[in-house]
Amino acid sequence: MTPTAFALAGFAGWQIILTFALAAYRTSLVLSGRKAANAFRSDGSDVGGFGQRLTRARDNCFENLVPFVALALAAGAVGRAPLLDPLAPWLLLARLGQSVTHLISTSVVAVQVRFAFYLVQTGIMGWWAFRLLAG
């Protein structure tokens, strides 16, 4: 498996793990009677604290998974998939770092660390897009 394929699978797997975690969290709220099954807001603002951070961490994955997949498909379509391989594992690590930091805290320092992880992901994908478009 190439590093890019591993990173794509890892990214998607992380998205799935966060989705299952959110489902388990919401199920526990329903079963304990603290929340009605049809009363959840999609942004998690109604549960606050960890529940909201978990919702946002999962949703943040969508924001970066789509361009990652698009760039990987574009690179593959033009025969330049190996271009992504050196940085793909770093993109996955930055994604995991951003999510875990988000789950742990919303302190000022944690938000800054989370933003740094986001910038790493965006920078890598921007570099890939530039390299692919530049030929």
CATH number at residue 66: 1.20.120.550
pLDDT at 38: 82
pLDDT band at 35 (very low <50, low <70, confident <90, very high): confident
pLDDT band at 76 (very low <50, low <70, confident <90, very high): very high
Residue 77: pLDDT above 90? yes
> What average pLDDT does range 95-120 have in this prediction?
97
* Nearby residues of 56 by Cβ (< 8 Å), 6 or more positions away: 43, 44, 102
- Domain of residue 101 covers 3-134
DSSP 41-84: -TTSTTT-HHHHHHHHHHHHHHHHHHHHHHHHHHHHHTT-GGGT
CB neighbours of residue 79 within 10 Å? 8
DSSP 76-107: HHTT-GGGTTTTHHHHHHHHHHHHHHHHH--S
pLDDT band at 65 (very low <50, low <70, confident <90, very high): very high
Residue 39: pLDDT above 80? no
pLDDT at 43: 80
Mean of pLDDT over the chain: 94
Whole-number CA gyration radius for the chain: 17
Q: How far, in Å, CA of 36 to CA of 39, rounded?
A: 5
- Count of domains forming the chain: 1
> What average pLDDT does range 87-114 have in this prediction?
97
